[in-house]
Structure 1
Amino acid sequence: MFQPNPEDRLHLRLHRARSVILTSQELVEIRAAQRTFEGAYMRTALSQFSFALIILKIFTSEFYAIGALFAVYGTTVMLCSIYRRYQGNRQFFTTTDDDGELKNKFRTSGNSVLLLTSLSIGAYIGLLVLTLRLET
């Protein structure tokens, strides 16, 4: 019940994550990462939702499964974006281990890239299967 805030364990230049004042270079780096990664994921999710809506509105009922596939894919891309943001917030900070020592750990975004890659491959396979079913 009386657990410390998780951001109190993350530090940057000996300041807690909640109270740190970033330099202009650090702000530029964070903004660039947000524009590049978080914005790209959200734009992709919105485009998938738009494409699903177009398919569901314009085409006949045979294409509803494809529209639903794109809607589900857009949802999973949005969830991947949330996961990427969660990882990115911890990228610049150090953490305190059990012995009380500060550790710098650089984590790449490989987990979210692997997740999005597997989701995309699954969506493309599903699209291929649904397209082949339309011909029969």
Structure 2
Amino acid sequence: MESNVVKGAIGFAIVIIVGFVIVGTTRETPQEKMQGAFLQTSNLLSTLALDKCTEAVKTEVGTHPYSPSESDSDHVKYVTLIWNNVGSAKRAECRYLMDQGITFLKVDDRTVIEKDAVAATGSETSPPAQDR
């Protein structure tokens, strides 16, 4: 009986040691780390754009817009969201730039917000033009 307990303890210790070796030798590669950071940035950008643009459209139209009908993004710097048939508006378009907020908001034919996007170098740029 005592030998079975010893064998069990030795077996358990071996499993624990093998587990530590596997965990210790499995490391994220730099490429995997970059992919993880890209996904986190893209998710943060999309979440911020959806929150801020939804609130801005709701303020202008008076109705809460739900899922955008269309979206466009480079997944790093900007997101453009378009809602069709939101309350009394036929079309609402909003562009959100990382670190700059909403730079463009248009409800039907009325432009509510239009700001020039300023690049980190100080030159003025904007994301690709959307079909309007």
Give the greater-gyration-radius structure (CA).
2
Q: Do both proteins adopt the same fold according to a TM-score greater than 0.5, normalized to the shorter chain?
A: no
Q: Which has the higher contact order (CA 8 A, sep 6+)?
A: 1
Give the TM-score of the pair, scaled to structure 1. Answer: 0.31
| Structure with the bigger percentage of strand | 2
